[in-house]
Amino acid sequence: MLPPRKKLIPILWVGEIRFNPAEQTATVSLGTKEKVNLETIRRAGGAIAKWTAKNKVIELGIDTASFSDLGFAPDKIALALAEGLLLGSFHFDKHKSKKDELAPANIYFLNDDFKQTLEQATIICEATNLARTWAHEPANIINPVTLAERVQELAKEVGLKCTVLDDKQLTEMGAGAIVAVGQGSQTPSRLIVLEYQPRAKKDVSPNGEAVQPVALVGKAITFDTGGYSIKTTLGMVGMKYDKCGAMAVIGTLVAAAKLKIQTPIVGVLAASENMISNVSYRPNDILKTLSGKTIEVISTDAEGRLVLCDALAYAQQNFNPRAMIDLATLTGGVVTALGSTRAGLFSNGDALANALFAAGEATYERLWRLPLDEEYFEIIKSTDADMKNSAGIAKASPIVGAIFLKQFVNDETPWAHLDIAGVSDWDKEMPYCPAGASGFGVRLLVEYLRGLE
């Protein structure tokens, strides 16, 4: 890789690629020094990945000599470039008779100093690509039951503890909201719990107390028809991606285990399929949740908050978490507000909100904080139950979704809700991700968790 040459860069991030067949080398411009940043480098990595796939490059040794000229720590440059390369080589052709024939090149840095950076990037990007792959699987392949089986198998492979609660156990336990959402489906709800415990050293604090885990809670609606509050024909397309919050949680736990992160982590995945049948839940049904609070259903399409309220209560009751973060493709309103550029961030505490915001800037999985004033609760007060699951009017819907979830979290527990409906899948190709699932959240959460060490 040569130092950046100003005149060769017509579009900042594309990175002009010049191939020398005699020497079998390619030079890539990463950007002008004034304008280059870690995201432009990631994007250049994505462009190189496309180029190597198209040109059937088998092996790519990266010359790191120019890294020190770009004004960033060289290992940050190596990480960003590796991320672009590894994420940019993702494609989902499992169900195609004719495969894409886009084998990724085997990449390495010519300078051994970056070996560990590459290993870590590989772990994080493989976890992101796993989240993407599973997100792409349609609802006739991944449903709550098959998801639980997959997660159990995966947990065994990577050394995570996994417990699955089925609909009977959930009913007995009193988790009436998650059970109701799944009751119209042939494959009923599952609550999937993943536990990561770091080995030795720091699993007790200096004063001998057990270290509290971070709880990550994910919405895993394997398909969202809307239920009796049915979606439109086009509004329903893409609803296989309504499990992306949980896919991010799975990816994060896999990466955490492989990176041997020092913080204990619990992942709680709330898996249901929101279907229509003669036994589905209905508008006006009153549900008793695990927390004891009751909910009047206004819209069966506001199902995400219903499965999550039981998952949040479960995490809170069983794990005494030091912080809880939930990820969910919760509202169309957040897509209207923030588009596909940033996810909505809600939190009951500034420290957690700021830490997550900073992790978003660092990874370019960006967030924007939205308010949580108590007044927003007014419009979901119910005459017949403790609250309604929807205001029934299109007013501040992402905030109303968040204020609903807040009712199920103790005020003392730092909690954040990420509404990722706009960023979890893209309808067009992005610099290091083809159209479809983005895996949003894995890099963000890993960055946040590493910041706790």
Known catalytic membership, residue 305: yes
CB 264 within 8 A of CB 198: yes
* Range 216-235, binding Zn ion (CB under 5 A): 221, 224
425 in contact with Zn ion (CB under 5 A): no
83 in contact with Zn ion (CB under 5 A): no
Name the H helices within 55-140: 74-88, 115-136
296 in contact with ligand BES (CB under 6 A): no
CB 370 within 8 A of CB 309: no
104, 283, 332, 349: which one contacts ligand BES (CB under 6 A)?
332
Question: Phi and psi for 415 in degrees, rounded to 5?
Answer: -140, 145
Amino acid at 393: I
Known catalytic membership, residue 231: yes
Residues 303-322 vs Zn ion: string with x where CB under 5 A? Answer: xx------------------
Q: Which of 132, 305, 342, 443 is catalytic?
A: 305
Contacts with ligand BES by CB under 6 A: the residue count is 16
304 in contact with ligand BES (CB under 6 A): yes
Query: How far is 209 from 13, CA to CA, in rounded Å?
Result: 49
Find where tokens 């900042």 sit.
12
Binds 333, which of Zn ion, ligand BES, none (CB < 5 to 8 A, cut-off by type)?
ligand BES
242, 273, 296, 326: which one contacts ligand BES (CB under 6 A)?
242
Amino acid at 157: E
Strands (E), 329-366: 343-347
Q: Tell me how many degrees the CA angle 144-146-148 measures, rounded to the nearest 5.
A: 70
Residues 412-441 vs ligand BES: string with x where CB under 6 A? Answer: ---------x--------------------
* Range 212-231, binding ligand BES (CB under 6 A): 224
Question: What angle separates helix 442-451 from helix 350-363, to the nearest 10 degrees?
Answer: 120
Binds 255, which of ligand BES, Zn ion, none (CB < 5 to 8 A, cut-off by type)?
none
Q: Tell me how many degrees the CA angle 284-407-195 measures, rounded to the nearest 5.
A: 110
Q: Which stretch binds ligand BES (CB under 6 A): 12-20, 82-90, 132-140, 329-337?
A: 329-337
- The tokens describing 281, both together, are 């839940």
Q: How far is CA 438 from CA 224, 434, 447, in A?
A: 19, 8, 17
> Of 242 and 419, which has the nearer Cβ to Zn ion?
242
Q: Which residues are catalytic?
A: 231, 305
Binding site for Zn ion (CB under 5 A): 221, 224, 242, 301, 303-304
List residues binding ligand BES (CB under 6 A).
224, 242, 299, 301-304, 329-333, 335, 390, 397, 421
